[in-house]
Amino acid sequence: MQNKKPNILDLEICNQKLLNMNAQERIEWGYDIFNEDFALTTSFGLQSSVLLHLIQNSRIQNKVKIFWIDTGYLPPETYIYADKLTKLLSLKVEVLQSHLSPARMEAVYGKLWENKNSGDLDKYHRIRKIDPLENGLSKYSIKCWVSGVRAEQTNNRSKMKVIDQIRNRYSLRPLLGWTKKEVFYYMKDKDLPQHPLFLQGYSSVGDWHSSTPESEDTQGRKTRFGGIKEECGLHTED
């Protein structure tokens, strides 16, 4: 399905306005502009409860589609956490998955993460993450999607704007300027549960085969993808 041509926004003016808004106001601003063509994505990762809580306690509660990209390789703890948050926050979540099952993908391409090279990881992320997201967004003609990326997570994200265009859609990042400490205390103040792997030393959680706890030498997003990459491609144009 072809994407609708996105609303034409003056991104410089929009970003100036958004800098003066808090995270919840940014989400509501996005909905006011895009209405039913607006969606939120979640990974049910370590900080996912913040964005989900913000939207469920806003004036647009239950009006925004929520997509979860399930790669089929998430840790058991993430599936348990997703179920817990879904019930706690009364969420309606649509699961997005690849048209290739994990078993079929491995039969055709092998275990792409085991080769520890960037090209195979790119193919893995395209099959299991990017294509499912794009198919889901296209299904509903979504023009703007919200994610929980933060500037301090990676060098690439430190250069991002609150709203920008990616793959012919707008990407809104309400938490872009938040620190890890702000995320922690928001969750504490709102009595939101921690992801089980947070208590085991993880600072970032994705698929079971590409996420490890922090160590003296490896921290943050460098604990992902064997240190080969910091981004899975969802939030980059390439």
Report the predicted TM-score, pTM, of the whole model to 2 decimal places: 0.87
> For the chain, what is the largest distance between any 2 Cα atoms, rounded to a whole number of angstroms?
50
Q: CATH number, domain at 41? A: 3.40.50.620
- Give catalytic residues, as residue numbers: 232
36 within a domain of the structure (yes/no): yes
- Tens place of pLDDT per residue across the chain (238 aa): 444 454 789 999 999 999 999 999 999 999 999 999 999 999 999 999 999 999 999 999 999 999 999 999 999 999 999 999 999 999 999 999 999 999 999 999 999 988 878 899 999 999 999 999 999 999 999 999 999 999 998 888 899 999 999 999 999 999 999 999 999 999 999 999 999 999 888 888 889 988 878 666 666 545 555 666 666 667 766 5
How would you list the strands of the sheet with 169-172, edge to edge?
93-96, 65-69, 38-42, 144-146, 169-172, 163-166
51 within a domain of the structure (yes/no): yes
| Cα–Cα dist 236/100, whole Å | 23
236 within a domain of the structure (yes/no): no
Amino acid at 45: G
100 within a domain of the structure (yes/no): yes
73 within a domain of the structure (yes/no): yes
Domain that holds residue 63: 11-221
121 within a domain of the structure (yes/no): yes
172 within a domain of the structure (yes/no): yes
Give 76's Cβ-side CA count (13 Å radius): 0
Tell me how many domains the chain contains. 1
171 within a domain of the structure (yes/no): yes
